[in-house]
Amino acid sequence: MSDSPTEAGGEKGDGEAARIAELREVLNHHIYLYYEKDDPEISDEEYDQLFAELQALEGKNPELITGDSPTQRVGAPASASFAPVEHAVPMLSLANARTEEELTAWESRIRNHLARRDVDPGEITYVTEPKIDGLAISLTYEEGVLVRGATRGDGRVGEDVTLNIETIATVPKTIDDAPPLIEVRGEVYLPLADFAALNQKRVDEGLPAFANPRNSAAGSIRQNDPQAAAERPLAVWSYGIGATDGVSFATHSEEIEWLREHGFHVNPDIETHDSIGQVLERCHWWLDRRDQLDFEIDGVVIKVDETRLWAELGNAGREPRWAIAWKFPPTTATTKLREIEWNVGRTGHLVPWALLEPVRVGGVTVSTATLHNEEDLERKDVRAGDEVVVLRAGDVIPQVVSALPQKRPKGAVKPVPPKVCPACGTEVIKPEDSVFSICPNRSGCPGQIFQHIKHFVSRGAMDIEGLGEKQVARFLEQGLISDVADIYSLTQEQLEALERMGKTSSANLIAEIEKSREVPFPRVLFALGLIGVGPATAEVLADEFGSIERLAEADPERIEQAEGIGPIMARQIAESLADQRTWEIIERLKAAGLKMELAEDERRPEGGPLEGKTVVLTGTLPDLTRDEAGAMVKRAGGKVTGSVSKKTDFVVAGESAGSKLEKAEKLGVPVLDREGLDRLLAGDLTADD
Chain residues binding ligand IVH by CB under 6 A are: 92-94, 129, 131-132, 136, 152, 187, 239-240, 301, 320, 323, 325
Specify whether the CB–CB gap between 392 and 386 falls below 8 A: no
Instruction: Provide, rounded to whole angstroms, the least separation between the CB of residue 497 and ligand IVH.
Output: 54
- Cβ closest to ligand IVH, residue 266 vs residue 509: 266
Residue among 201, 185, 84 nearest 135 (CA): 185
- Give the DSSP per-residue string, 102-131: HHHHHHHHHHHHHHHTT----SPPEEEEEE
- Cβ closest to ligand IVH, residue 286 vs residue 456: 286
- Cβ closest to ligand IVH, residue 197 vs residue 323: 323
Three-class HEC string of 612-678: CCEEEEECECCCCCHHHHHHHHHHCCCEEECCCCCCCCEEEECECCCHHHHHHHHHCCCEECHHHHH
- Cβ closest to ligand IVH, residue 314 vs residue 605: 314
Instruction: Provide, rounded to whole angstroms, the least separation between the CB of residue 188 and ligand IVH.
Output: 9
Residue among 255, 221, 257 nearest 240 (CA): 255
Residue nearest to ligand IVH (CB): 136
Instruction: Provide, rounded to whole angstroms, the least separation between the CB of residue 187 and ligand IVH.
Output: 5
Measured distance CA(511)–CA(529) in Å, rounded:
23
Measured distance CA(41)–CA(23) in Å, rounded:
16
Catalytic residue among 12, 60, 131, 303: 131
The β-bridge partners of 184 are: 139, 241
Measured distance CA(593)–CA(196) in Å, rounded:
29
Instruction: Provide, rounded to whole angstroms, the least separation between the CB of residue 319 and ligand IVH.
Output: 8
Instruction: Provide, rounded to whole angstroms, the least separation between the CB of residue 217 and ligand IVH.
Output: 11
Question: What DSSP designation does 35 have?
Answer: I
Instruction: Provide, rounded to whole angstroms, the least separation between the CB of residue 272 and ligand IVH.
Output: 14
- Cβ closest to ligand IVH, residue 188 vs residue 530: 188
- Cβ closest to ligand IVH, residue 72 vs residue 478: 72
Measured distance CA(148)–CA(161) in Å, rounded:
8
Tell me how crowded residue 440 is: count the other CB atoms within 10 A of its CB. 12
Tell me how crowded residue 99 is: count the other CB atoms within 10 A of its CB. 12
| Residue 44 three-state SS | helix
| 114 Cα distance to chain centroid | 40
Residue among 343, 366, 365, 368 nearest 354 (CA): 368
Specify whether the CB–CB gap between 190 and 296 falls below 8 A: no
Instruction: Provide, rounded to whole angstroms, the least separation between the CB of residue 657 and ligand IVH.
Output: 30
Residue among 562, 533, 536, 573 nearest 231 (CA): 536
Crossing angle between the packed helical segments 567-578 and 580-591, to the nearest 10 degrees: 70
- Cβ closest to ligand IVH, residue 152 vs residue 262: 152
**Distances from the Cα of 15 to the Cα of 4, 53, 57, 317, 446, angstroms:** 17, 14, 11, 25, 59
Q: Is 327 a catalytic residue?
A: no
Amino acid at position 683, single letter: G
Instruction: Provide, rounded to whole angstroms, the least separation between the CB of residue 25 and ligand IVH.
Output: 23
Active-site annotation, residues? 131
